[in-house]
Chains A and B, each alone.
Chain A
Amino acid sequence: MTNPETVPVASDSSNEETPLLKIRNLEVGFETQRGLVPAVRGVDLTLYQGQSLAIVGESGSGKSTTAQAVIGLLPGAGKVSGGSIEFEGHDLTKFSDSQFAEVRGSQIGYVPQDPMSNLNPVWSIGFQVEEAIKANGIAQGKEARQRTIEVLQEAGLSDASERLKQFPHQFSGGMRQRVLIGIGLSARPKLLIADEPTSALDVTVQRQILDHLQTLTRDYGTSVLFITHDLGLAAERAEQLVVMYKGKVVESGPSRAILENPQHPYTQRLVAAAPSLASRRIQSIKSSKPSDDSVRIFGEGSLDDALIARAESRGAGANEDLIKVSNITKVYEIRKQGFRKDKLLAVNDISFGVKKGTTTALVGESGSGKSTVAKLILQLESLTSGTIEFDGKNLAGIKGQELLEFRRRVQPVFQDPYGSLDPQYSVGNTIAEPLLAHKLGTTKERYNRVSELLDQVSLPQAARHRYPGELSGGQRQRVAIARALALKPEVLVLDEAVSALDVLVQGQVLNLLTELQTELDLTYLFITHDLAVVRLVADNVCVMQGGRIVEAASTDEVFENSSNPYTRELLEAIPGANIQLGA
């Protein structure tokens, strides 16, 4: 690369006007058997030194492909078919592989999405960081080792020198992501591309990592290109927003302007559906209750109006507990080498009740035991101690006909819409399966019931003959909900049921769930890590940490005046929670 000092335009005042990264009319396509399939179609983007910019969009919008084109790491069949990517005045699209190798790492850093798979499990952390440092020519030999320690310390690993010899599996997800950020910033690049840097992490960890990243890049004057699906996070962390949809930029500009005044219908939808922003909106409506328009800044007619209306009018019902959980504990035995066994306390003496016709949310980060509670209630795992009562009846040791009857009344919807449907079963057969298992109705009756259920979850009748592989994540999740509703249950246990979905689809499914609840008088046990979603759907909240319930209260109480420090930390960590609303 050229030495900045010899370039005459590198003075401070004119630097303002020369973008660090200037993408014009970028076209990227993927070679397939049916010809070139366009993924990015005419994207413009401008990023100045020291700025941060976020590309926001749902999966398949081309946001990651754009970033990969910038760093020259398009997957196999992808290629830039038009436009230019100017980095400090050089067109990267014309770079050869070896030229790219020179820029990568030293000029443009990259933080990949998944910290679990982006570190090589057979090499120690120190080796991998040192490798990156040597490859970028920052330091060699003894110096490189010294620099490795510095890099890891900067990334927030205080005991870096002791941890050099450790392997990736000895690091938590957050620590691994810190290592990757350290590697990405090790050469002090001018531009750092962070592709969904924290979507695999818990919210509190996400917040720490992003705060840290922000401090580092501000100190070094690094420009940051964020790729994210979370509008709240984008608006909070970046000055500039670029909203992408189906490979095109639909709206771009200063974050504040877009958030306060989204113009394109797609952006309006996105802003309306983002749970973090919507939950924030409820908050401001509840707390200020002013007549001015400042609380309406997110636009009218939004997808989640019904949800918000419901959240506003919500009060804890005075009904009886339909599910009553008392002092339950679950201990897993983990087999170690030889005959030794370790005990893992997954759920530690917890009690709560779920009232009929309400939604109770179980919130916690990974490892908090929330999914274990769901499995215990669903009778998929056995209790170590304690009791679970359903409709006044102790569930301990039920089997045969009684268990079948319980299964009819309490149905689950699981997290992964890609895994919970049998790929060999058509949608119609999948939805009819519980009816068949419980030997209900004739073939004709079952057929009609499936039609009815497809209507209820707003899937077209034609979907009956489709296979899961042909449906999107949201559609699969609607099939899973239809299957759960087939037996006319009273309770749905929703285990992270919307977590894997794009925001708009998530909003749609949440809307559907809310409608179904009113229509069919359902009781929901909603298990999630996302407090923002909780705000939209839940009447009561139980916050779990390390197998215990640390706080249980009505949603309003938890969000408005929680006294528990952990709950407060979770609330603070909701992306977008720090955005100042038009006030």
Chain B
Amino acid sequence: MPSNNTGRERPGQEHFIASLAETPVAEVDQVDETGKARSTWTDAWEAMRRRPMFWISSVLIFVIVVVAMFPSLFATYSPTECYLKFSDGGPEAGHPLGFTRQGCDVYSRIIFGTQASVTIGLLTTIMVTLFGGIVGALAGFYGGLLDAFVSRIGDIFFAIPTVLGAIVVISVVPVRDPLSVSLILALFAWPQIARIMRGAVLSARNSDYVTASAALGVSRFKTLVRHVVPNAIAPVIVIATVSLGIFIVAEATLGFLGIGLPPTVMSWGNDINQARVSIRTNPQTLLLPSAALSITVLAFLMFGDVVRDALDPEARARR
């Protein structure tokens, strides 16, 4: 042991004791009682509300949703009130964006078209999240045959591009309304959410607090609902917000191809399709609905981006 330490202290190695005034000793392991309690969700909220992008996208989404719910508040003319005498007419009083080739008011059509896009986007997202989330959570948590079955089925659907699959199915469906279009889109989109949920559940399932809750006497299913799902939901929420925008685009795509909602329902996709013929003579009938579509999708994608940054600490750390 200390062999060359022969009692004589070398310079700089004397027994030094810091003055108590400079190094006060705190109570062992004191609880910090100051400040607010912070859960994952309050943390995420704190992170989100500091970002301008969150407020810009929120305001946009709010306006879009209000327009979708009460279109008649924003437009005085009916979108189906079309007079051929106005065909391809320019802007005039009461008709700020001019007329389509059919003589319909462009502004009204855009306002009334919001409803279809937002409804289908929301409906599809809700269906996909609920179905994909539940199936993914059960498969991940219980594993075994259920997991194998769900995963393979998911793989099959995963291999088919959403829009392509929807085109095929929609051509044999007799009823075309927002609900059926949403259902068809959801049919091909659920495996993505299911996969993400399954992965998140798999990693949460093996954590100590799940073992602990089993040892406390909490049943398997209650453990899944109370402990596993809340800890696995964050990535699902992120994907859900981002895919909302994507579903709106998918709906517009179907409309553009002429196999989406029937022409009687106001839809941006349909309008863009019909405006193709006047792209050279009257381009705003094509550009304006497209712009409305872009802004809506952008708002949801921006929102999804903010949510991802707030819920995914790794993405936050990278910034």
Binding site for B on A (CB under 8 A): 16-17, 19, 22, 44, 46, 48, 50-51, 236, 239-240, 245-246, 248-258, 261, 263-266, 269, 303, 378, 380, 403-404, 407-408, 411-412, 414-416, 419-426, 433-434, 437-438, 459-460, 462-463, 465-467, 469-472, 474-475, 480, 483, 504-505, 507-508
Q: How many A-B residue pairs have CB under 8 A?
A: 162
Residue of A249, A415, A459 near B16 (CB, 8 A) is A249
A-side contacts of B10, CB under 8 Å = 16-17, 19, 46, 48
Q: Please determine whether B32 and A470 come into contact, CB atoms closer than 8 angstroms.
A: yes
Instruction: Check A420/B208 contact, CB under 8 A, given A250-B23, A265-B20, A460-B33.
Output: yes
Q: Do B212 and A412 have beta carbons less than 8 Å apart? A: yes
Contact B208 A467 (CB under 8 A): no
User: Looking at A252, A424, A463, which has the most chain B CB atoms within 10 Å of its CB?
Assistant: A424
With contacts A264-B20, A467-B37 taken as known, whether A472 is within 8 angstroms of B212 at the C-beta atoms is no
Residues in B whose Cβ lies below 8 Å from that of A255: 2
Main secondary structure, interface of A, reads mixed
Question: A413 CA to B29 CA in the complex, in Å?
Answer: 19
- CA distance in complex: A422, B214 (Å): 13
Contact for A471 among B1, B31, B211, B226, CB less than 8 A: B31
In the bound complex, residues from chain B placing their C-beta under 8 Å from that of A415 are 208
Given the complex, which residues of B lie within 8 Å of A403, measured CB to CB?
217
What residues of B have a CB within 8 angstroms of the CB of A422 in the complex? Answer: 209, 213, 226-227, 230-231
Contact yes or no, B12 A46, CB < 8 A: yes
CB-defined contacts of A22 to chain B, threshold 8 Å: 12
Q: Return chain B residues, CB-CB under 8 Å to A266.
A: 23, 25
Given contacts A246-B23, A420-B208, contact A254 B2 (CB under 8 A): yes
Provide the residues of chain B in CB contact with A16, threshold 8 Å.
Answer: 10
- Say if the beta carbon of B318 comes within 8 Å of chain A: no
On whether the beta carbons of A251 and B17 are closer than 8 Å, the reply is: yes
Once the chains bind, are A46 and B16 in contact (CB under 8 Å)? no
A470 lies within 8 A of B37 (CB): yes
* New A-B pairs, 17, CB < 8 Å, besides A420-B212, A422-B209: A44-B12, A48-B13, A239-B2, A245-B25, A251-B17, A251-B18, A252-B16, A264-B17, A407-B217, A412-B215, A419-B208, A422-B227, A424-B227, A434-B216, A434-B218, A437-B213, A504-B28
Q: Please state if B39 and A437 are interface contacts (CB–CB under 8 Å).
A: no
Tell me the smallest distance from the CB of A271 to a CB of chain B, in Å: 13
Contact sample, A vs B, 30 pairs, CB 8 Å cutoff: A17-B10, A245-B25, A251-B15, A251-B17, A252-B13, A253-B9, A254-B15, A263-B15, A265-B25, A269-B25, A378-B215, A408-B217, A419-B207, A419-B209, A422-B209, A422-B227, A424-B231, A434-B217, A434-B218, A437-B213, A437-B217, A437-B219, A459-B31, A463-B31, A469-B40, A471-B31, A472-B29, A480-B212, A483-B216, A504-B29
A426 lies within 8 A of B5 (CB): no
Q: Is the CB of B212 within 8 A of A466?
A: no
Q: Return chain A residues, CB-CB under 8 Å to B17.
A: 250-251, 263-264
Name the residue in B17, B207, B219 with the highest tally of chain A Cβ atoms < 10 Å from its Cβ.
B17
A426 proximity list for chain B (CB < 8 A)? 37, 39
Docked complex Cα distance between A297 and B64 (Å):
76
B81 in the interface, Cβ–Cβ < 8 Å? no
Q: How far is the CA of A507 from the CA of B28 in the complex (A)?
A: 10
